[in-house]
Amino acid sequence: MKNLKQKTLSLFSLFLLLSSFAAEGNSPPSHTGKTISFDEAYRLALNYSLQRQISAEQVEIQREQLSQAKGSLLPAVSLRMRHFRQDSLQGQSFADNDQTSTALNFSQPLLRGLREYTALGIAEDSVLRAELGERLEQRQILFQLARVYYSLLIDMADLKNTQELYKLTRERVVDLKERVNIGRSRKSESLLAQSQLVTVESRQKTLERNLKILWTEFFLLTGINHELELIKPPQMDKMQELGAYLARMEQLPEIQRAKLELKISDQQVQLQKRYHYPDLTFDGNFYLQRDGVQRERDWDMSINLNFPLFEGFNVQSRVREAVLSRNQSTHAMLNIQRQLESEIRELYSLIDLDLSRLDVTKRAVDLARQNYQEQRREYNLGLVTNQEVLQALNSFIENQQVFDRLQLESAYNFQILKAKVGELQ
């Protein structure tokens, strides 16, 4: 009974130990700071992503398949035991009809129509393809995180401007109520300001709801379970000429993988054609125990040649199928090149347009602010109406929102452009 308890405790301890290892492998990454930059969030997202782990495991699977392809070129050694019995003939002893043998068998493929070397090349290229797939998965994580990260920054900037609009509108409401009480303003002017205040409050709640949704996406990507202060991106680097970005296309993992797919398709065509070639195999046995008329012979060997003559046109069909797959790979590579070039050109144009608008928009913000301040001064002098003051206030906040959004959107597009051309990994 005591031994049973000890075994039970040992098994329970082992279970807890394995559970702790499993929990450690699946636990979300920790981040102790109160702020986080995009690069830090990206590193956390890479470590937290299960899809990236799957792609990394796929690389290991392809490496194991490469080892299997190399192993198929080596000899095979096995222990063979055989009991043979046949119908007895008149005058033949029973021992000749009932035979047992035990032997070490050595088998070495000498030639398999050169298919083994083609398969080895396919396995090597498949490892490279899987590694490129892992890089593409990392890029996809970067794109997803960038969308959420910059959307958070944009909505937080919108919320800040909306809160400023709410604050200034509320001041107008308080001021107008006092003016109505002393007869210096109409009640309709106060009601107009109150109506705008409620509208701004509703917009503020909508932005807060959107931010909660975006934070949830951010948590799912990075594994962080609390809100942090997002660090705004630094000042944009100076853009190079469009040709410099397009020149890097050939080094992108999408293009390299498409080229590998085409190369593997060519090898598949060669592989299927080589099923017409003969197979040559060496086979030898060293007998440890043997009965019958062959009992005095300790070994034998053979060289076997197999020349395919007719297999129901299966090989020709597989060759045609491989050729069609190669054509598909060619068209897919051309399509990827066109798509990438189009995306790079579009991003470059967007960034160039946004940068050209930034200075103009900044001047518009400054002028709208001055106009709002002047409208307030003139309203106190009775030169303008309350509606004109509210219009000036709305214009000022709207221009500020446009400027903030333009800054962040241009930074986001530049981040995606650098990732597209391989500057970010």
Taking only the tens place, the pLDDT of each residue in 329-370 is 999 999 999 999 999 999 999 999 988 898 899 999 999 999
In sequence order, what are the residues at sequence separation of 6 or more whose Cβ sits closer than 8 angstroms to the Cβ of residue 220? none
**pLDDT computed for residue 283 by the predictor:** 93
> What does the pLDDT average to over 223-235?
85
Does the pLDDT at position 386 exceed 90?
no
**pLDDT computed for residue 92 by the predictor:** 58
Residue 233 pLDDT level (bands cut at 50, 70, 90): confident
Does the pLDDT at position 146 exceed 60?
yes
> What does the pLDDT average to over 240-254?
90
Q: How far apart are CA 110 and CA 304, in angstroms?
A: 10
Q: How far apart are CA 388 and CA 379, in angstroms?
A: 9
**pLDDT computed for residue 292 by the predictor:** 73
> What does the block give as tokens for 242?
């469009």
Query: How many CB atoms are closer than 10 A to CB 205?
Result: 11
Amino acid occupying residue 373: Q
Q: Whole-prediction pTM value?
A: 0.79
**pLDDT computed for residue 162 by the predictor:** 93
Q: Where are the domains of the chain?
A: 32-75+114-278+313-420
Asked if the 32-75+114-278+313-420 domain carries CATH number 2.60.120.200, the reply is no
Residue 89 pLDDT level (bands cut at 50, 70, 90): low
Query: How many CB atoms are closer than 10 A to CB 1?
Result: 5
Percent of the chain residues topping a pLDDT of 70: 89
Phi, then psi, of 33 in degrees rounded to 5: -75, 165
Does the pLDDT at position 78 exceed 80?
yes
Q: Are 136 and 257 in contact (CB under 8 A)?
A: yes
Phi, then psi, of 137 in degrees rounded to 5: -65, -40
More confident residue, 397 or 24: 397
Q: Nearest to residue 203, comparing CAs of 397, 359, 25?
A: 397
Average pLDDT, whole number, for the chain? 86
**pLDDT computed for residue 90 by the predictor:** 64
Edge-first strand listing for the sheet containing 98-112 = 76-85, 98-112, 279-290, 299-306
pLDDT in tens, 1-55: 444 444 444 444 444 443 443 444 445 555 667 899 999 999 999 999 999 999 9
> What does the pLDDT average to over 104-128?
91
